[in-house]
Amino acid sequence: MEQTRIEDAGSLRALIEAGDAPGIEEYLKPLHSADIADLLQQLDVEEQIVCLKRLDTQRAAEVLAELDAKSGQALLTLLSDHEVGKILEELPSDDAADLMSSLTPEKTERVEALLPSEDREDIQELLEFGANTAGGLMQVERVSVRDDSTMQEAVDVVRRAAEDVESLQRVYVVNETGRLVGELSILDLVIKSPQARVRDVMQRSTVAVPVDMEQKHVAAMFSKYDEFTLPVVDGQGRLVGRITMDDIIDVIEEEASKDFARLAGTTDQELGETSIFKVSRSRLPWLVTGFVGEGLGAILMSRYEASLATFVVLAFFIPMIIGTAGNIGIQAAVVVVRELALGQINIYRMGRRVLKELQVAFLNGLVLGGILFALVYFWRHDAALGALLWGTLLLVIFVAAFMGSSIPLLLHRWRVDPAIATGPFVTVSNDVIGMAIYLTLATAYLRTH
């Protein structure tokens, strides 16, 4: 029952190897379809097929919808067109469209021909929306009544629809042109008089999602309004579908994964990816960018070759200076990016936000510079060099904090995803700028003493 306990697929695999079909059926019967999906994830695709064939179509469809995209895709290619068609029929339209989009174009065509025309049209309609928009998240199944109906009529509509609509939460109320005008809760159907008019009982101020809204903004709406389901409307305010909160949890995790991946200079496609070539390809661009940036740093350093040969001690502190610049910049950038993602930053007060980072940087620079001074003083017995390094560090930290906080804010204002700033850009430029400041100041000082 608990998620963290990972069910071991060993005994299931033994049943499969023994060819014990009734045993497999018995084993899977009491399990939740999400738990079955977890188990299948640990098997290879031939074993998965054996298990799937022991489930009735409804359960098989549920399990397929729970599998991650790659496993689902692998399984679907091994099922016949007819079997895939039966499974798609059982699924809500959003899950069916997701599975359909993972088929080859030829298989899609053959399977579509097998579907009832209504299901086919629903799926085709959904496939036209961008995968990361409200349209790509929504399902077309929903229950709606006209505002001039009675509550009894609404109850009858719900009774008829109950089979097809999963997690029914709200009955949407539309006017004669199909525009969304209000909503009823299922509870209203239980507790309100059957003779009442829908328009007198319904709640009017309905929050609705525009069909072309980006998925992360849809997630923010759910998070803000605390609704389990929200209706989706087209440009004319007509009801076209609904989104359920369980899909929003996936969106929030997906968006967080994207931000984590950007922070590490890779893409979220690599999560769970097994091909090492694909993983390598998604990480290399940022590694190469960083590497070339540091290469420019090497060439920059070579211009100070004479000073460095004379004062080798200068080189000793380079990792401290650039490492700290990188850390300060990343801290500022990550915090600002997260605050932007959570909607905690008021875009009218960006200047204030950067100022706060500079103040924090000043405090941290004082402390770290003090440590550096102490190190230089007790190790090299050179107070002047210590003071110079303290000052240099403060300046480097200031620049790093400014870049780390202002770059994501500017990207956000220019409508570019600020998370890209947490990766290559801030780190490498802070390294190189920090080194330039350090070498310029330090060699100028040492030459004159």
> What part of residues 29-88 is at the interface with its own copies (CB under 8 A)?
30, 32, 34, 38, 42
Binding of its own copies at residue 351 (CB under 8 A)? no
Residues 79 to 138: which contact its own copies by CB under 8 A?
none
Q: Compare residues 323 and 351 and give the one whose CB is closer to its own copies.
A: 323
Residues 248 to 267: which contact its own copies by CB under 8 A?
248-250, 252-253, 256-257, 259-261, 263-266
Q: How far apart are CA 282 and CA 265, in angstroms?
A: 8
Piece of 28-36, 53-61, 83-91, 130-138 that binds its own copies (CB under 8 A): 28-36
Strand order in the sheet with 239-244: 209-210, 229-233, 239-244
Q: Which of 302, 378, 381, 449 binds its own copies (CB under 8 A)?
A: 302
Q: Which of 21, 346, 413, 440 binds its own copies (CB under 8 A)?
A: 346
Residues 408 to 427: which contact its own copies by CB under 8 A?
427
> How many other β-carbons are positioned within 10 Å of the β-carbon of residue 143?
20
Q: Compare residues 315 and 441 and give the one whose CB is closer to its own copies.
A: 315
Piece of 20-28, 111-119, 134-142, 360-368 that binds its own copies (CB under 8 A): 360-368
Q: Compare residues 23 and 210 and give the one whose CB is closer to its own copies.
A: 210
Q: Which of 43, 49, 127, 271 binds its own copies (CB under 8 A)?
A: 271
The closest of 268, 271, 266 to 283, measured between CA atoms, is 266
> How many other β-carbons are positioned within 10 Å of the β-carbon of residue 120?
18
Contact by Cβ (8 Å): 259, 340: no
Number of residues lying near its own copies (CB under 8 A): 124
Contact by Cβ (8 Å): 87, 61: yes
Closest separation in Å from C-beta 56 to its own copies: 16
Q: Which of 84, 96, 126, 335 binds its own copies (CB under 8 A)?
A: 335
Binding of its own copies at residue 360 (CB under 8 A)? yes
Piece of 97-105, 175-183, 288-296, 441-449 that binds its own copies (CB under 8 A): 288-296
Q: What does the block give as tokens for 64? A: 């397929």
Closest separation in Å from C-beta 379 to its own copies: 7
- Residue 310 to residues 33, 221, 237, 389, 448: CA-CA distances in angstroms? 71, 62, 74, 18, 13
Element (DSSP H or E) covering residue 376? helix 350-380
Closest separation in Å from C-beta 168 to its own copies: 6
Q: What does the block give as tokens for 449? A: 């003493």
Closest separation in Å from C-beta 421 to its own copies: 13
Residues 150 to 189: which contact its own copies by CB under 8 A?
155, 158-159, 162, 167-169, 186-187, 189
Q: What does the block give as tokens for 338? A: 């997260």
Q: Which of 61, 139, 227, 425 binds its own copies (CB under 8 A)?
A: 227
Closest separation in Å from C-beta 190 to its own copies: 5
Distance separating the N- and C-terminal Cα atoms of the chain: 72
Contact by Cβ (8 Å): 328, 426: no
Q: How far apart are CA 228 and CA 244, in angstroms?
A: 6
Q: Which of 286, 373, 398, 438 binds its own copies (CB under 8 A)?
A: 286
Residues 196 to 215: which contact its own copies by CB under 8 A?
205, 207-208, 210, 213
Strand order in the sheet with 180-185: 144-146, 170-174, 180-185
Q: Which of 109, 359, 416, 440 binds its own copies (CB under 8 A)?
A: 359
Q: Give residue 220's identity as a one-letter amino acid code.
A: A
DSSP for residue 90: H
Would you mind telling me the total number of residues written for the chain in this entry? 449
Residues 304 to 333: which contact its own copies by CB under 8 A?
305, 308-309, 312-313, 315-320, 322-324, 326-328, 330-331, 333
SS3 234: coil
CA torsion through residues 129, 131, 133, 138, sign: positive
Closest separation in Å from C-beta 112 to its own copies: 27
Q: Compare residues 8 and 382 and give the one whose CB is closer to its own copies.
A: 8
Binding of its own copies at residue 3 (CB under 8 A)? yes
Q: How far apart are CA 142 and CA 158, in angstroms?
A: 10
Q: How far apart are CA 170 and CA 94, in angstroms?
A: 18
